[in-house]
């Protein structure tokens, strides 16, 4: 095998959980197709663009409306913020939060001020714990954009513009920055689907820049590390082989830290499973090439990968056809064809909701004919 071919295979395999894969994985866990709600090109006419861009007045109006669904004691309380669970298990849907007793005029003026206190993260929602007090204006801003990012493509773009418009005011707040990184990442994927690859590249780098800025401010946040990992993965299409392998290793480190900080994050569990499975399936020679380029040993096992997939499945049972497929593939790799067939049957019986499910379903049918 020629060296270039081997290196390319290693780069693709060790980075399987990053780049385009991480985009698909994130979209599947949120269960929201990127194309919903957007017609035509994102970079189309000025009228189309203005229709997707909210002015600060629009933001204030929407936040005012959100106050009707936000309940709780004064900012001195440390109460719980109940939220409905979504498909992903951690993204907010309907929210209630601590609100200030200040009058409405002061409340909206606070939009233009600094963020004070701590906002609950995506990960906090998993176990329902509350972490400290929050500033009323920031609460409502974050509630608004979190819901938008859990919506369709047009809503995701709107979330990006809302955050981008006020980024100078919150440039020193890690909770704001990881949300801006997430929104920019999602916007980049939508732009890419509309065939503007250059803008997608620029947005991908900006998303990683925002995530890294958040990391500099707070290194012990699960959400910061998660979005450092995902945005780093998006850069794999734009870097060379050696950098891609190094990025893949850093990707794994970010995921491991995020998981240590929040053990119930299904997305991170699945990403780690994909990384481990890909490394485990490398040949001895391919691992040696990766070790040489990386300057550090790269090891994993099918059992480790399966453990991550099973944990993700335990948290979000039968929520994603492809996760079940990979559990089956792990068993098959260990020659446990009975368990492989059982998991393939479960995956086969799940509904097909989109193109990604169709691709997974085709592989499931092929493997079932072999192991059933």
Tens-digit pLDDT profile for residues 15-62: 543 443 444 455 555 544 443 333 333 333 334 334 434 444 554 455
User: What letters, b where the CB count within 10 A reaches 16 and e where it falls short, cover 222-245?
Assistant: bbbbbbbbbbbbbbbeebebeebb
Neighbours of 276 (CB within 10 A): 25
Residue 344 in domain: no
- The pLDDT of residue 353: 80
pLDDT at 254 over 90: yes
pLDDT at 273 over 50: yes
253's CB contacts (< 8 A; 6+ apart) are none
Residue 352 in domain: no
Residue 370 in domain: no
Alpha-carbon gap, residue 140 to 122, rounded angstroms: 15
- The model's confidence at residue 240, banded by pLDDT at 50, 70 and 90, is confident
pLDDT at 134 over 70: no
Alpha-carbon gap, residue 361 to 158, rounded angstroms: 33
Q: Are 61 and 68 in contact (CB under 8 A)?
A: no
> Which helix (H) or strand (E) segment is 284 a member of?
helix 284-294
Residue with more model confidence, 64 or 50: 64
Residue 216 in domain: yes
Residue 326 in domain: no
pLDDT at 244 over 80: yes
Residue 327 in domain: no
Q: What is the mean pLDDT of the chain?
A: 73
Rounded to the nearest 5°, which phi and psi values hold at 357?
A: -65, -35
Residue with more model confidence, 361 or 194: 361
203's CB contacts (< 8 A; 6+ apart) are 184, 185, 187, 188, 191
- The model's confidence at residue 267, banded by pLDDT at 50, 70 and 90, is confident
Looking at the structure of the chain, the number of domains it has is 1
Structure tokens at 229: 């990992």
Residue 325 in domain: no
Residue 350 in domain: no
- The pLDDT of residue 71: 38
| pLDDT tens by residue, 315-334 | 999 888 999 999 999 999 99
Nearest to 343 by CA among 362, 307, 319, 368: 368
- The model's confidence at residue 64, banded by pLDDT at 50, 70 and 90, is low
- The pLDDT of residue 126: 38
In order of 33, 40, 52, 160, the CA distances from 154 in angstroms are: 11, 12, 7, 10
The residue range of the domain holding 76 is 3-319
Q: Are 290 and 8 in contact (CB under 8 A)?
A: no
- The model's confidence at residue 179, banded by pLDDT at 50, 70 and 90, is very high
Q: Are 226 and 242 in contact (CB under 8 A)?
A: no
Percent of the chain residues topping a pLDDT of 70: 63
Q: Average pLDDT in the 81-92 region?
A: 29
- The pLDDT of residue 105: 42
- The pLDDT of residue 3: 37
Alpha-carbon gap, residue 136 to 101, rounded angstroms: 9
| pLDDT tens by residue, 333-351 | 999 999 999 999 999 999 9
């Amino acid at each position: 095998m020629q060296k270039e071919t081997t290196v390319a295979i290693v780069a693709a395999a060790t980075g399987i959980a990053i780049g385009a894969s991480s985009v698909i994985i994130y979209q599947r866990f949120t269960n929201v197709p990127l194309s919903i709600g957007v017609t035509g090109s994102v970079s189309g006419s000025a009228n189309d663009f203005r229709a997707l861009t909210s002015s600060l007045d629009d933001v204030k109006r929407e936040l005012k409306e959100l106050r009707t669904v936000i309940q709780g004691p004064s900012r001195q309380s440390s109460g719980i913020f109940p939220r409905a669970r979504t498909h992903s298990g951690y993204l907010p849907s309907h929210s209630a939060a601590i609100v200030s007793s200040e009058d409405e005029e002061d409340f909206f003026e606070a939009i233009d001020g600094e963020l004070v206190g701590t906002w609950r993260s995506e990960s906090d929602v998993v176990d329902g714990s509350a972490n400290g007090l929050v500033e009323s204006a920031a609460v409502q801003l974050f509630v608004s954009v979190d819901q938008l990012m859990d919506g369709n493509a047009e809503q995701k773009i709107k979330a990006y513009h809302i955050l981008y418009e006020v980024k100078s005011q919150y440039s020193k707040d890690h909770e704001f920055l990881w949300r801006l990184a997430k929104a920019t990442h999602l916007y980049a994927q939508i732009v890419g689907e509309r065939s503007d690859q250059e803008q997608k590249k620029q947005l991908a780098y900006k998303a990683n820049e925002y995530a890294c800025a958040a990391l500099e401010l707070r290194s012990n946040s699960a959400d910061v590390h998660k979005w450092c990992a995902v945005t780093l993965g998006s850069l794999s299409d734009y870097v060379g082989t050696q950098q891609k392998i190094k990025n893949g290793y850093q990707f794994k480190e970010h995921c491991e830290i995020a998981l240590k900080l929040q053990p119930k994050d299904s997305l991170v569990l699945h990403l780690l499973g994909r990384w481990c499975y890909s490394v485990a399936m490398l040949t001895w020679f391919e691992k040696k090439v990766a070790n040489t380029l990386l300057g550090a040993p790269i090891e994993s096992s099918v059992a480790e990968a399966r453990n991550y997939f099973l944990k993700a499945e335990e948290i979000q049972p039968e929520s994603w056809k492809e996760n079940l497929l990979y559990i089956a593939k792990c068993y098959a790799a260990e020659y446990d064809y009975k368990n492989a067939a059982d998991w393939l049957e479960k995956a086969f019986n799940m509904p097909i909701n989109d193109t990604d499910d169709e691709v997974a379903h085709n592989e499931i049918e092929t493997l079932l004919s072999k192991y059933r």
